[in-house]
């Protein structure tokens, strides 16, 4: 579109980003507050970080959350990639419509319903609830996100590359491993990352699936936040926000560099 960057646009962007970021900035600043009262500034201190490190309940919940996220995002990446491949390259098979419906439905399903239905399943087959059931639940909804990300990459990539490999004597499996997988790898990795964050972040589904024996970090945060604002939660939030910020910025720098590298390679190849 034609671009005329006016004062109106500048104001809209400034106000918009202030709205998006001010709450988090305030949260971070007040995590360094000396006072227990979270709205009164009483001097700089890192004591809440120290107390957080002493809090075993938070640490063990964080460990559970990381375990669940690592396992479920890995399963979700594998299953989601398979599902995407089936959707895009699978051809016709019985129940294809049902299959694609089951891929897209969890994306729009309210979390309370997903959580409730999984809990009722676990109870009716007599499965003991704990870390295992949270992993099952998270894998199920995260694999749908992965398959959407991966299938959008599969749709755009040139099928003739695969066919060339098959013509040159690859088995379909070899062709997938040596041609398709390297090309869709960035999408699989971003799908994995998405699944990992979704799992880290999930409160509702985990609360239903967890049962009394396992507590994840969001569940722990939720139960203490219900009682009001606490500087310890501010400290915890600051740590989590910093990790995500560093991760996202690093990932975007890496992808920027790899795009730049690819463009240089292509130009070099054209010159030859």
* Contact call for residue 6 and other proteins (CB under 8 A): yes
Among 136, 170, 183, 189, binds other proteins (CB under 8 A): 136
Q: Which of 43, 56, 97, 110 binds other proteins (CB under 8 A)?
A: 110
Residue 93 touches other proteins, criterion: CB under 8 A: yes
Q: How many CB atoms lie within 10 A of CB 104?
A: 13
Q: Nearer Cβ to other proteins, position 181 or 249?
A: 249
CA distance 185 to 156: 14
Residue number, 46 or 252, with CB nearest to other proteins: 252
Site for other proteins in 151-190 (CB under 8 A): 172-173
Q: Under rule CB under 8 A, how many of the chain's residues touch other proteins?
A: 83
What is the nearest approach in angstroms of other proteins to the Cβ of residue 137?
8
* CA-closest candidate to residue 172, choices 184, 190, 159: 159
Please select the residue that binds other proteins; options are 51, 63, 90, 174, rule is CB under 8 A: 90
Give the residue with the Cβ less far from other proteins, 91 or 272. Answer: 91
Q: Does 149 bind other proteins (CB under 8 A)?
A: no
On the 0-12 / 13-18 / 19+ scale of CB atoms within 10 A, 233 is buried
Q: Is 86 in the site for other proteins (CB under 8 A)?
A: yes
Closest of 114, 96, 194, 111 to residue 152, by C-alpha: 194
Per the listing, tokens 């990352």 go with 193
Alpha-carbon torsion 111, 102, 188, 122, what sign?
Answer: positive
């Amino acid at each position: 579109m034609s671009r005329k960057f006016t004062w109106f646009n500048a104001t809209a962007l400034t106000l918009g980003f202030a709205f998006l970021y001010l709450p988090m900035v305030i949260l971070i600043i007040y995590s360094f507050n000396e006072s227990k009262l979270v709205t009164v500034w009483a001097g700089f201190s890192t004591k809440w970080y120290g107390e957080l490190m002493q809090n075993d309940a938070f640490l063990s919940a964080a460990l559970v959350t990381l375990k669940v996220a690592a396992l479920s995002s890995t399963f979700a990446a594998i299953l989601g990639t398979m599902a995407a491949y089936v959707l895009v390259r699978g051809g016709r098979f019985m129940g294809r419509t049902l299959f694609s419906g089951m891929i897209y439905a969890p994306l729009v399903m309210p979390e309370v319903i997903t959580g409730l239905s999984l809990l009722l399943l676990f109870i009716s087959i007599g499965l003991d609830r704990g870390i295992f059931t949270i992993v099952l639940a998270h894998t199920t909804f995260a694999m749908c996100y992965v398959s959407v990300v991966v299938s959008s990459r599969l749709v755009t990539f040139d099928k003739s590359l695969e066919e060339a490999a098959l013509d040159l004597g690859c088995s379909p499996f070899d062709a997938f491993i040596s041609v398709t997988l390297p090309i869709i790898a960035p999408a699989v990795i971003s799908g994995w990352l998405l699944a990992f964050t979704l799992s880290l972040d999930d409160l509702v589904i985990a609360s239903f699936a967890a049962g009394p024996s396992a507590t994840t970090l969001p569940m722990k945060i939720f139960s203490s936040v219900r009682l009001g604002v606490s500087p310890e939660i501010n400290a915890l939030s600051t740590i989590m926000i910093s990790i995500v910020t560093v991760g996202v910025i690093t990932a975007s720098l890496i992808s920027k560099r790899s795009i730049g590298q690819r463009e240089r390679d292509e130009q070099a190849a054209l010159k030859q």
